[in-house]
Amino acid sequence: MSKGRILVVEDDPDISQMLRIYFDSQGYEVLAVARGNDALDVCRKKQPNVVVLDIMLPDMDGYDVCRELRGNLRTSHIPIIFLTQKDERSDKIAGLELGADDYITKPFDIEELKLRIQGAIRRAEATSLTDPTTALPSAKLIEEQLKVLIGRDGWAMLYIVINHIDAFTEAQDIVAQDDFLRFVAMILNETVEAHGTPNDFIGHTSGNDFMIITVSPALAAIREEFSARFDQGVFTFYDFVTRERGYVIYTDRQGTQQESPLMNLSMGVLTDADGPFPDIRMLAAEARRRATHTNSGYN
């Protein structure tokens, strides 16, 4: 099981390769890019658990990358660790003022960098900022976004429930479940990137529940593409026999053999026209109710 996804933004190929090899050996998934614009693109689509960011880059400096990440709702929560040759106090203060979480200078001790990365990921999870499996915003960040949502016009929420994931996990294991949830997070990010706006929000509300907050005109295209990609990809997580059979056979905790349908989606839509909502609990509850109280999977 991966310990998390690290994005290394470093234009020195020797350092980049060294970090990739080392952290891969430590059980992390490592992505590496050499340009700031590529880093912004990867963060929106892949949602790393932490970004290790060099300040001196060929197209834009790390400060600008940090500023862009913090200014985008989909990436504002991602921990950032600056990695640079600069050792001036003013440079450190500038990075921290922009919202960086930590700062380490070259030459660096890779064991120290590992501990700083572990600490950044642990703090984000402990404060309910991100889900440890998908790296998507979770409880606290979702609550903050819902508070903002109530006061705006023109918003739309797509609430997504993945049905029968417990049976899938019982038939396989928690590693397979985590791989599947990361797949869901990936297609959510890529779909919103393709059809939504830079300030759309994606949240992982619980084990099998997700939400997208967007603007009303983008909602239909996001829902249609996400559903199509989910339906196409979900079958790759089952073996050939299960796909042909059309249902899962597993043994429950009481030792009884059970049957369950393959995983599918229920989705509900909520917009500002459905309000007003007196508080965020009622808004979230109504969104989930619409997702789960429908036979077609859509409402």
pLDDT at 89 over 70: no
For the chain, count helices (H), then strands (E).
Answer: 11, 11
The per-residue pLDDT for 59 is 94
Mean pLDDT (whole number) for 25-53: 94
pLDDT at 211 over 60: yes
Task: Print the domain residue range for 184.
Answer: 139-292
| Dmax (CA) of the chain | 65
pLDDT band at 32 (very low <50, low <70, confident <90, very high): very high
CA 219/CA 196 separation, integer angstroms:
8
The per-residue pLDDT for 298 is 43
pLDDT digits (tens, 9 = 90+) for 104-163: 888 889 999 999 999 999 888 877 678 888 989 888 888 888 888 777 888 899 999 999
Task: Specify whether the CB–CB gap between 10 and 31 falls below 8 A.
Answer: no
Mark which of 72, 102, 126 sits at the end of a domain. 126
CA 238/CA 248 separation, integer angstroms:
9
Which tokens hold the place of 191? 């779909």
**Mean pLDDT estimate for the chain:** 88
269 alpha-carbon distance from chain centroid: 21
pLDDT band at 297 (very low <50, low <70, confident <90, very high): very low
pLDDT at 299 over 50: no
The per-residue pLDDT for 87 is 64
Mark which of 87, 105, 126 sits at the end of a domain. 126
pLDDT band at 216 (very low <50, low <70, confident <90, very high): confident
Q: Residue 10's domain is classified under what CATH number?
A: 3.40.50.2300
pLDDT at 88 over 70: no
Same domain, 94 and 172: no
The per-residue pLDDT for 184 is 96
Same domain, 191 and 282: yes
pLDDT digits (tens, 9 = 90+) for 1-14: 678 899 999 999 99
The per-residue pLDDT for 149 is 76
CA distances (Å), origin 263, targets 39, 67, 299: 33, 39, 19
Judge whether 192 lies within some domain.
yes
Judge whether 132 lies within some domain.
no
Same domain, 180 and 223: yes
Q: How many domains does the chain have?
A: 2
The per-residue pLDDT for 262 is 96
